């Protein structure tokens, strides 16, 4: 029942010819929900979103002035605009696209927290669409209960009500909530958006990460993904849905992918999807690397299924000694992506001994190397397990916690 407050809340007015089809847009200084909202607006006007900044970009959308992308945009004479520019284009004010871009769209200020209402729209542009909010709508309890018993609610109540939250029985319009949730999907986590979209038939656009692909091929494949409406990310993080690789490898991207993606596919998935002008079924393009899988004695498909059931290192805490290889930074990134925690300081021996689960297994894991064992004399003298880096690397590939194989002492 809330009054629409952002450009994404209003009806989509463009047909096949979208005004931003020739625009290549990058974004800077936005985080979290705000960044997702800007990305959605960029795609809604038909422009291509890029997570990087090159001379080919036509516009940089910034929350405030400052940062590497901002400085490069000034150096390359690329227009830097605020969200108000995107607002006007989304709402159909095509004067905003004229060059040179009007000064009212210029970004001002250097405070990351300035102007909490940067997504607010000019009410004058949408006054005719707000008539429905000028008169209160009251619905009786009886009417609402009758509506709840309808076939629509029976079929999709579990999926929809989770996203609507607590409903006021005396005053509610379900269709308004549904429209707003569909257009402003960044109000919920990526995982919830996936479930909600699946439940009502909206297409979920892939968020793709690539590893082990040649630089020239990455550029070409990225353009294909963006053309189809997907997104490209440089690292695996929450919200990523696909990892593209042509062989199994132990890169940071590949190992952290187990913690977030639903699909690991070959680059043919993008190539064939581009030819079909839509994203194809991933099951036909699953990565299978028999040689590497045999070498490390695991099944990629099985490991991915296990990873989706629950995080591998949930309830485990890790400590890495200084000279461990791969580096502490790399191992920390992998462990955290799989639900583990990392401490910078080694707890007392008395405390470590107490860190066990209901099965009597340790929940504190020490990962070290030969050159650092002298630092852990008190630890291994009490028969506390010290493991090498394979505990993490091979463990993630197999999606299993092996407390015996990789013990150093």
Give the tens place of pLDDT for each residue, 269-307. 999 999 999 999 999 999 999 999 999 999 999 999 999
Instruction: Give the whole-angstrom CA distance, residue 5 versus residue 182.
Output: 14
Task: Tell me whether strands 364-367 and 341-342 are parallel, antiparallel or unpaired.
Answer: unpaired
Confidence of residue 258 (pLDDT cuts 50, 70, 90): very high
Rounded mean pLDDT of the chain? 82
Instruction: Give the whole-angstrom CA distance, residue 268 versus residue 274.
Output: 10
Q: Where in the chain is the domain with CATH 3.40.50.10190?
A: 7-128, 207-307, 312-398
Instruction: Give the whole-angstrom CA distance, residue 159 versus residue 165.
Output: 11
Report helix angle 328-337 to 390-398, nearest 10: 30
Instruction: Return the pLDDT at 233.
Output: 93
Residue 218 tokens, joined? 């990455």
C-alpha distance across the termini of the chain, in Å: 64
Q: For the whole model, what pTM was predicted?
A: 0.52
Q: Tell me, which fold does domain 7-128 have in CATH? A: Rossmann fold (3.40.50)
Of the given ranges (28-37, 77-86, 134-143, 243-252), which has the lowest mean pLDDT? 134-143
Confidence of residue 181 (pLDDT cuts 50, 70, 90): very low
Q: In this structure, are residues 310 and 321 in contact, taking their beta carbons and an 8 Å threshold?
A: no
Segment holding 188, helix H or strand E? none
Neighbours of 180 (CB within 10 A): 19
Q: Which alpha helices (H) appear in 165-282, and where do they start and end?
A: 174-183, 190-200, 215-227, 252-257, 268-276
User: What are the tens digits of pLDDT across the range 301-332?
Assistant: 999 999 998 899 999 999 999 999 999 999 99
Mean pLDDT of 255-274: 94
Q: In this structure, are residues 298 and 397 in contact, taking their beta carbons and an 8 Å threshold?
A: yes
Flag whether pLDDT at 179 surpasses 80.
no
Using CA atoms, how far residue 117 sits from 63, 84, 262, 318, in Å, is 11, 10, 35, 41
Which residues on adjacent β-strands are paired with residue 286?
A: 265
User: What are the tens digits of pLDDT across the range 115-142?
Assistant: 557 888 877 777 788 877 777 777 888 8
Domain 207-307 = CATH 3.40.50.10190: yes
Q: In this structure, are residues 305 and 263 in contact, taking their beta carbons and an 8 Å threshold?
A: no
Q: Tell me, which fold does domain 312-398 have in CATH? A: Rossmann fold (3.40.50)
Query: 362: buried, middle or exposed (CB in 10 Å: 19+, 13-18, 0-12)?
Result: middle
Of the given ranges (36-40, 50-54, 228-232, 261-265), which has the lowest mean pLDDT? 50-54
């Amino acid at each position: 029942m809330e009054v629409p407050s952002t450009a994404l809340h209003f009806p989509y007015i463009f047909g096949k010819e979208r005004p931003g089809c020739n625009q290549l847009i990058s974004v800077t200084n936005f985080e979290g929900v705000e960044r997702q909202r800007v990305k959605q607006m960029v795609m809604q006007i038909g422009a291509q979103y890029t997570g990087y900044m090159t001379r080919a970009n036509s516009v940089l959308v910034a929350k405030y002035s400052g940062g590497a992308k901002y400085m490069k945009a000034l150096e390359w004479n690329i227009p830097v605009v605020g969200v108000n520019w995107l607002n006007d284009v989304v709402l159909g004010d095509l004067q905003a696209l004229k060059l040179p871009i009007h000064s009212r769209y210029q970004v001002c200020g250097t405070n990351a927290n300035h102007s909490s209402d940067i997504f607010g729209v000019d009410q004058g542009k949408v006054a005719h669409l707000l008539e429905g909010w000028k008169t209160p709508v009251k619905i009786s309890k009886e009417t609402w209960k009758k509506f709840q018993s309808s076939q629509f609610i029976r079929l999709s109540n579990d999926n929809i009500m989770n996203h609507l939250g607590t409903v006021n029985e005396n005053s509610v319009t379900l269709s308004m909530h549904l429209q707003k949730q569909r257009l402003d999907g960044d109000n919920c986590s990526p995982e919830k958006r996936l479930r909600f979209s699946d439940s009502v038939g909206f297409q979920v656009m892939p968020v793709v990460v690539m590893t082990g692909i040649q630089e020239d091929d990455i550029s070409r494949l990225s353009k294909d993904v963006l053309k189809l409406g997907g997104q490209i990310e440089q690292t695996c993080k929450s919200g990523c849905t696909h990892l593209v690789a042509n062989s199994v490898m132990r890169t940071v991207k590949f190992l952290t992918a187990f913690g977030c993606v639903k699909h690991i596919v070959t680059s043919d998935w993008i190539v064939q999807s581009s030819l079909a002008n839509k994203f194809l079924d991933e099951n036909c393009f699953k990565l299978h690397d028999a040689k590497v899988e045999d070498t490390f004695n695991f099944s990629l498909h099985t490991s991915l299924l296990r990873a989706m059931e629950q995080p591998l290192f949930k309830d485990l805490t890790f400590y890495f000694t200084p000279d461990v290889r791969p580096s502490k930074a790399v191992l920390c990134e992998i462990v955290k992506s799989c639900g583990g925690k990392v401490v910078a300081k080694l707890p007392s021996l008395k405390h470590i001994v107490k860190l066990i689960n209901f099965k009597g297994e340790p929940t504190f894991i020490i990962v070290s190397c030969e050159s650092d064992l002298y630092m852990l004399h008190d630890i291994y003298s009490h028969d506390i397990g010290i493991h090498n880096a394979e505990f993490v690397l091979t463990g993630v590939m197999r999606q299993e916690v092996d407390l015996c194989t990789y013990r150093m002492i």
